[in-house]
Amino acid sequence: MLHCKLGIFKPRTLLWICLVGVTVSVYIAIQQDQLFSSIRKTHIDFRGDRGNTLKPSLHLHRLNRTRQILIWNMPNNIYAPTTLDEKCGSCTITRNRKLAPESDAIVIHYRKIDSLPDPKTRRMNQLYVWLCRESAWTTKYKYKLDLKKYDGYFNSTMTFKLSSEFSQPYIEVLHRKLPNLDFDFVQLLQNNVAEIISQKRYLVAWVVSNCVDTYGARRRFSLVHDLIQAGLHVQRFGRCFPETNFPSSTDDASFIFLSKYKFYLAFENAFHCKDYITEKFWRSGLYSGVVPIVWGPSKENIGRIAPKHSYIHVEDFPTLKALVTYLNYLNKNDTAYAEYFDWRKDLKNKIQENRYSTSLFARDAV
């Protein structure tokens, strides 16, 4: 497996560029082997599994020139390097649109597609990559994007879905070390369970910024209200509760803040949207040393990706009252609560074996 040196605190920075770099190199290598006779036209479709994900292969050693990736429109708060090392495909990165005809891949962010490259200039081995990490519901209804008119335009997708050509799930790396910065390796997922539990002071936290913008957001708000009515003590933070104070999500202090809680409501703003498992589960939950309470992903979907017995799923309980009763039981029983951290005990060995891997936990996910 190819690994990339990326920073977990900037999850939208180097990872997606590295993925494009690797896959551009692989794609063109396959072209050289004449496995593709013409460019493949695909629909922008978040719903179906195409099952045609391009994967790193042994063709990489046959490449004899540097590949170029054009970032057509940069997402907000993104740092893009000018070059990628050999682990990421040895590509150069540019934002100069005049270089579109000679670029091997053009990455186009979904929020800024009012001006697009002319498809008449596209070479047969050139990728037009649709980049989006939002759910289909949010893309269609909140941002009101009519995707039908782009049928046949993009020939690659880069989304959270595992079936995308460039799969970019929200789980990323377990250490942070950015090039040219004096960061030491930081093991975010510590395996000292006793130390994790000793930090607990409160029961449940929930940080939320999308209050009513999507159907899933409204539904989860109602769900949390019902949980509180059923007797669960929840401390709520974020833009939806402006009277509260919570550290910036880009600040290390957010990890320390959440580590004092036993549970975190990892409630997505989309319901049963396949593979849509975001930082709510990974960053605010597992990385913070908290047991996530999951709603949004189906039980089957998250069960294929997340560490075994690392979370509690709302759908495992017949009623919300039953869930609240179980959480209160765990709050009083440290032994039972500690079992949700058993998966961490051999984590150190897995990290060494999968250094910089983006699929450390995935089990038969692709």
pLDDT digits (tens, 9 = 90+) for 255-305: 889 999 999 999 999 999 999 999 999 989 998 999 999 999 999 999 998
Whether 354 shows a pLDDT value over 50: the answer reads no
Name 357's Cβ contacts closer than 8 Å, sequence gap at least 6: 1, 3, 173
> For residue range 69-120, what is the model confidence (pLDDT) as tens digits?
998 987 765 666 666 666 566 788 888 999 999 999 999 988 777 789 998 8
Range with the largest mean pLDDT of 90-99, 153-162, 196-205: 196-205
Whether 31 shows a pLDDT value over 60: the answer reads no
The pLDDT value given to residue 73? 86
The terminus-to-terminus CA distance of the chain in angstroms comes to 14
Least confident of 12-26, 156-170, 291-305: 12-26
State the Cα–Cα distance between residues 322 and 150, nearest whole angstrom: 47
The pLDDT value given to residue 65? 73
State the Cα–Cα distance between residues 129 and 29, nearest whole angstrom: 18
- Residue 361 pLDDT level (bands cut at 50, 70, 90): very low
Partners of 235 in beta bridges? 205
Tokens representing residue 132 in the block: 């989006």
**Residue 71: left (phi > 0), alpha (psi -120 to 50), or beta?**
beta
For residue 130, report the phi and psi dihedrals to the nearest 5 degrees. -85, 115
Nearest residue to 225 via CA among 247, 206, 242: 206
Tokens representing residue 351 in the block: 């990290």
State the Cα–Cα distance between residues 239 and 212, nearest whole angstrom: 12
The pLDDT value given to residue 329? 98
Partners of 204 in beta bridges? 234, 263
pTM: 0.75
The pLDDT value given to residue 115? 84
Fill in the amino acid letter for 349.
Answer: N
The percent of residues in the chain predicted with pLDDT above 90, rounded, is 39
Whole-angstrom CA distances from 182 to 248, 249, 288, 351 are 22, 21, 23, 21
- For residue 83, the 8-state DSSP code is B
The pLDDT value given to residue 44? 37
State the Cα–Cα distance between residues 12 and 8, nearest whole angstrom: 9
Range with the largest mean pLDDT of 15-19, 42-46, 179-183, 263-267: 263-267
What domains does the chain contain, in order, with CATH numbers? 14-167 (no CATH), 193-345 (3.40.50.11660)
State the Cα–Cα distance between residues 70 and 105, nearest whole angstrom: 6
